[in-house]
Structure 1
Amino acid sequence: MSETNQELTQQYYARTKAAISELTSQLEAIKSGSATSDSIQKVAVELAKLRKEHTDAIAFLPGYDQRQVDKQLEGLESQLESLRTAAAPKAKFAFKRKATKAAPPASTTPATASEQSTSAAAPPPTGQPSAVHTSGLSISGHTNSYLTLSSLSSPWSSASDLTISDLDNCIVNFIPDSNGNIPHDVTFTALHARNISNTVLILPIISGSALLHDLKNCVIALGSRQFRMHTSSEVDVYISIASNPIIEHCSAIRFADYPSSLRRPPAHDSITTQTKSNYLAVQDFSHIRATPSPNWSALPEEAAIRDDQWPLSNSVDVQAVLSQLLPSRG
């Protein structure tokens, strides 16, 4: 390591240690008090800045130190997710509790018409409370569907976190230019994806990090500042990224560059087209050896999806498209 890199590393550690300590104190204060959207959003903004600094520091930080800081940041992000869930509107959880408790005592006082209407309108529990975000958009619990931006939760804002969970046999098209009834200036600040199988995810370039858990036999196209995938297998990843993609406890992951046909004009992209993509500079935290990781590879050109094959219209036959594009086509 050069003297310059040593100095950069020391300066980075000093700043990061102080910032992590401050964020930890803020999270503890929120836990012991009342979690509000404003207080949580303030921490989220600071944590996003810290993530960006860490991404920028990857160029000079040793691999071991990268992982240590990354684990600390991941711990803070996990705490933030828990607080977001805790701050979710109480009415949503109240409806779910009433729905589960109302079934056994069938002989009690008959429900009024308004109570019956409210009960019927209440959504069934998803069993995935971690997907509830108060400051972002989410989509969850779909099968055999073509999903667009209009399928997302409300309300809309110009920049929002995006949560996708519990999907099977779906096509997700969130490219703004192919969603005519949605404002084209919408941007996603971060992606959280969990428990998705046999699905094609077509996403724009987002401004923040992408955290993915438990994907099986999927295709995902996206751009992000940082990319982390955990406990996933048989996934083709088409990505634009300036930092190193990270995988852990994964297998049969294939990487390719983000398709030029999905890119928006440079003025709209959060990551400019001039930025060189590090889509093949993958770090496998489950294979800390000098030998190449057996858990990922470059997607062969002949196996990659052609520009004209991306299903950007909801008039397609979902099952037919999935049988053509998914890594495991059986």
Structure 2
Amino acid sequence: MEERNGVIGETGVTGETGVTGGSGAARLQERLQKRHQARIEDAERRREAKESRSVAEEEVQYFSRSFSRERADIEELLASCCGAERSLVTQNLEEATDRTTQLQKFLNDSLMFLTQYELRQAQAALQKLQTSLTETREGALPKKKFTFRARTKAAGKVSAAGTPPPAAASPADPGVMAVDGASEQCGFSNVRDELLIKTAEEIQKQDVLLTHLSNCRVRLIGSPSTLHLKNIDSCEILCGPVSSSVFIDQCRNSTLAFPCQQLRTHNTSDTQVYLHVTSRAIIEDCWGLSFAPFSWSYPTLEEDFAVSGLDRQRNNWREVDDFNWLAAGTPSPNWTVLPEADRKTSWDS
């Protein structure tokens, strides 16, 4: 009986051990396989992350090299204007303007992989280049003195469709004064309480400068290359499609409307901007700004969009980067979207 019990006991232990051992080995093998698979997946994630970083670094390096090289070439073009014949200066300035516009487009197309710091540096370099371009044009092609021509009060009003009126020939009625478009520098300066108009023929893809204007209504009908606004107070400024950038500095209590590739705004307050922008608007040291989609219209607007090269269907009017507000996930207190009920719908009054 003891032997039988022993056999039975041994058989029972053997059987039980066999079952337990087999189950444990299976579980161990499963754990090893899971761990091995996790190692493979982790290695794959690290490899993909490394490749992604490598691609991003290569893109940034390519952008940096290409941007710097093109900027240097444009600066060399501008430097060659010093002391050159007028025809060569004109040719170089046209080429520099076109290449600066293309450089702006290159920056806009690279936004997805640039950091905020890299973007800010590139935009500052572009703004400096635009300033050099304007200064070189003013120095190498001296502008003619501003001359004034009178418009009758009836002619000075913009029609409901936004078409500029013809100039009146009679000097007896001072009416609304406008700067003659024959000057090399296209724009208006040091004017108060006037209606100021530029036509497409006067603008002709030039850089337009508006400075020291107070309580003026400005209509720029055409497609400027760039638009510079500085020291603007209580004005309404409407502009056709700007092929590259709009730069605003020290503007207050005004209403602005324009399409552009890039908007850079400094030191501006209590201003409404009706905007069509194909990149992202940037503000710095600003407060009390409100944005709405561009809504001004005039008969040749579509033609001017074609001249400017802007994408009519791409409008990032509410995508605003505030360089003074870096709190992620919290809206900047310095700008808002203008409520629809408060948006201007009629521009001819």
| 1:6-50 C-alpha deviation (Å, 9 max, x unpaired) | 443232222112112323334444458788333333322222221
Confirm or deny that 1:206 pairs with 2:255: no
Which one of the candidate residues 140, 144, 160 is aligned to 2:189?
Answer: 140
The counterpart of 1:71, out of the listed 124, 132, 135, is: 124
Greater relative contact order structure (CA < 8 Å, 6+ sep): 1
| Structure 1 residues 279 and 168: CA distance shift in structure 2, 3 A | same
Partner residue in 2 for 1:283: 321
The 3 A distance-change label for structure 1 pair 241 and 37 is same
Q: Aligned to 2:193, what secondary structure does the other structure show?
A: strand
Which structure has the bigger radius of gyration?
2
Alignment of 1:4-43 (within 5 A): 4-31=55-82, 36-43=89-96
Partners of 2:262 and 2:332 in 1: how far apart? Answer: 20
Q: Is 1:300 the counterpart of 2:346 in the alignment?
A: no
Write out aligned runs for 1:59-138 (5 A): 59-89=112-142, 92=145, 135-138=184-187
Runs ≥4 in structure 1, deviation > 6 angstroms? 32-35
| Structure with higher helix content | 2
Give 1:88 shift: 4.1
Native 8 Å contact 2:248 2:264 kept in 1: yes
Task: Tell me by how many angstroms 1:91 deviates.
Answer: 6.7
- Taking a change above 3 Å as real, the CA distance of residues 263 and 210 of structure 1, as seen in their structure-2 partners, is farther
Q: Is the 8 A contact 2:196 2:216 kept in 1?
A: yes
Q: Calculate the aligned-residue CA RMSD, in Å.
A: 3.1
Does the 8 A contact of 1:87 with 1:134 survive in 2?
Answer: no
CA distance in 2, matches of 1:263, 1:230: 32
Aligned to 2:283: 247
Structure 1 residue ranges without an equivalent (≥5)? 94-131, 177-185, 317-330
Worse-matched range after superposition: 289-298 or 45-54: 289-298
- After superposition, what is the alpha-carbon deviation per residue over 1:230-267, rounded to whole angstroms, capped at 9, x for unaligned? 11111100100110101111111111111165685645
Distance in 1 (alpha carbons) for counterparts of 2:117 and 2:83? 34
Can you list the C-alpha shifts for 1:266-318, whole angstroms capped at 9, x where unaligned? 4541334322x11111111233342432221111222211x2x212xxxx5xx
**Does the Cα contact within 8 Å between 1:165 and 1:195 map onto a contact in 2?**
yes
Q: How much does 1:56 deviate?
A: 1.9
TM-score by length of 2: 0.65
One-letter identity of the residue aligned with 1:83:
T
Cα distance change on mapping 1:137 and 1:91 into 2, 3 Å: closer
Q: 1:149 aligned to 2:185?
A: no
Looking at structure 2, the residues matched to 212 and 282 of structure 1 have their Cα atoms a distance apart, in angstroms, of 15
TM-score normalised over the length of structure 1? 0.69
Note closer, same or farther for the CA distance 1:83–1:266 as it changes in structure 2 (3 Å cut).
closer
Q: 1:272 to 1:48 in 2, by over 3 A?
A: closer
Identity %: 26
